Amino acid sequence: MKFSLKLFLWTISIVAATLAVGGYYIVNSMFQTSLARETKQVMDESGIIRFGFEISALNIPYKYEHLQDQDIARIAQRLDTGGENRYVRICGEDSVPLYASEGFPTGSVSIKGDMDQGFEDGGSAKELAYRIIPIDRRYYIQTAATLGIIDRSLSLETLTDITNVFTEREAGFSIYRRVCIVILICEGIIIFMSSYWLTRPVRFLSVAAKKMAKGNYGARAKKISSDELGSLTQDFNEMAMSLEENVYQLQEAARAQEEFVGVFAHELKTPLTAIIGYADMMRSQKLEEEKLLLSADYIYQEGRRLEKLSFNLLDLIVLKRTEKPTGTFHTKAIFEYIRDTFSKFDVNLRIQYEECEVYGEMSLIKTMVANLVDNAVKVSEPSGLVEVTGTASDSRYTFTIHDCGCGIPPEHLSRLTEAFYMVDKSRSRSRHGAGLGLTLCAEIARLHGTDLTIVSVVGMGTTVSFNLEVLNNE
């Protein structure tokens, strides 16, 4: 069942129950009040009649030894002037009626017998008692009293029609029911609309959640209130945002992985094709010596390329699983190694450095600097300037490798460290490049908590730098 419907049903039932109980109580208490008033009046009247009868009976001269039946009737007739609604009856011994008002409802039960037992609803005295009885769909208050007349045992009964009190109650209920229905209808419309309006945020949330379940991660719920539901909407939207981000990252990672595999397959297949092809040709055909040597050379070169590719890949895999290095080393060793390694190349190598002890894994930094210098040498003209500098400032030691080569077009800069990415494919191929050198360097830098900063101007040269933490001796 819908929440708004539940809210509606609950509210409406509570209102209806409250109205019913309250209304019943009010109408009923009004009824009780009028009934009590009527009763009191009837009792009073009954008392007056009794008193009047007794006085009249005393005033009758004693002709006989006891009061005659016709005298009783006469007195009663005189006293019975109370109006249409009241009937009087006087019974003698053996419950024989001696007088009854005109229209005294027949079929009414004689009260004599009951009087001896006492009435249910009042009057314990044998002198005066009353009860409320329905006769022929009308309600009466019946009173009974013993008349204290000498020699005679008489009883006085009055019967007063109080149907109007009951009719009023019925009318009260009926009006109240109608009022209730009108109130409930109005209330119902208002509650239904307000519960629908209050649960709007929930419906928005539900729509957004369904959209997200279908894969539309950009779906958001509209925030329309500032209450708990509003903050729930906000929380939901924040969750959706971080979810979307995660999904995007996962997709990116999957795409990068796929691309890596594709490029890797290509990089692997090219040398393999050459090796297999040349070897196949050499084994199946008698080749001239020149072609034989050429083929063997291709096999060798492509084999070397595969070797470099596999070692670089292995390094990358190992690096990805290596913890951050905690060792230290002197920077002098790096620069001296670079000087030794690259002095035989045809470049103007200028090395300048401050001696310092820094945090890092020396073999990795050596690989990284050698890679960067190798790149610089490759792009340099013969006898071109390649500067390798090391400067310490505050707590960081900065390595900078600068060349005056062709530079890198800006559109390539962001992708330089991607695996197998080559700016000039044929040029790096001719030097057994596999496009993994900078990827490796970036990985080593990441491991040491630093970044490769590459600044390049086309035609002017490229500067690559990174920094390491200086060991504090103090």
Residues that bind other proteins (CB under 8 A): 262, 265-266, 269-278, 280-281, 283-286, 291, 294-295, 298, 301-302, 425-426, 429-430
- Rounded CA gap, 439 and 314, in Å? 12
Bridge partners for 155 per DSSP = 91, 146
95-127: string of b/e by CB count within 10 Å (b at 16+)? eeebbbbeebbeebeebeeebeeebeebbeeee
The nearer residue to other proteins, 298 or 337, going by C-beta atoms, is 298
Task: Using the minimum distance from each CB to other proteins, give the nearer residue, 263 or 455.
Answer: 263
Residues found in the chain: 474
Q: Where are the beta strands (DSSP E) in 253-394?
A: 328-330, 348-353, 357-359, 385-393
Is the Cβ of residue 283 or residue 344 nearer to other proteins in the bound state? 283
Q: Compute the least distance from the CB of residue 455 to other proteins, in Å.
A: 26
Q: Give the dihedral sign, CA 217/223/226/229.
A: negative
Helix (H, G, I), strand (E, B) or coil at 169: helix
Tell me whether residue 145 or residue 416 sits nearer to other proteins (CB atom): 416
Nearer to other proteins, 156 or 416 (CB): 416
Q: How far is the CB of 427 from other proteins (least distance, A)?
A: 11
CB of 275 to other proteins, least distance (A): 8
CB of residue 463 to other proteins, shortest distance in Å: 27
Closest approach of other proteins to the CB of residue 423, in Å: 11
* Beta strand ranges found along 8-101 (DSSP E): 86-91, 97-100
Shortest Å, Cβ 267 to other proteins: 9
Residue pair 267/307 in contact (Cβ under 8 Å)? The answer is: no
In sequence order, what DSSP letters do the residues of 79-133 get, joined into one string? H--S-TTEEEEEE-GGG-EEEE-TTPPTTPPPSHHHHHH--TTS--SSSEEEEEE
Count other C-beta atoms under 10 Å from residue 354's C-beta. 14
394: helix, coil or strand? coil
CB of 301 to other proteins, least distance (A): 7
Closer of 436 and 470 to other proteins (Cβ): 436
Minimum CB distance to other proteins smaller for 418 or for 469: 418
Closest distance between other proteins and the C-beta of residue 421, in Å? 13
Spell out the residues 6+ positions from residue 407 whose beta carbon is closer than 8 angstroms to its own: 456, 457, 458, 459, 460, 461, 462
Q: Is 450 helix (H, G, I), strand (E, B) or coil?
A: coil
Q: Label residue 468 exposed, middle or buried (CB < 10 Å: 0-12, 13-18, 19+).
A: buried
> Among residues 304 and 320, whose Cβ is nearest to other proteins?
304
Cα torsion angle, 189, 194, 199, 204, sign: positive
Rounded distance, CA 35 to CA 166, Å?
A: 9
3-class state of residue 423 by DSSP? coil
Q: Which CB atom, from 134 or from 262, has the smaller least distance to other proteins?
A: 262
Q: How far is the CB of 285 from other proteins (least distance, A)?
A: 6
Pairing of β 138-148 and β 128-135:
antiparallel
Closer residue to other proteins (CB): 284 or 472? 284
Q: Beta-carbon neighbour count of residue 14 at 10 Å?
A: 10
Element (H, E) at 18: helix 3-59
d(CA 27, CA 12): 22
Considering the complex, what minimum distance in angstroms separates the CB of residue 429 from other proteins? Answer: 7
Q: Please say which residue, 93 or 258, places its beta carbon nearer to other proteins.
A: 258
- Cβ proximity to other proteins: between 58 and 281 the closer is 281
| Nearest distance from C-beta of residue 263 to other proteins, angstroms | 10
Q: How far apart are CA 432 and CA 446, in angstroms?
A: 25
CB of 307 to other proteins, least distance (A): 15
φ/ψ (deg, to 5) at 153: -105, 100
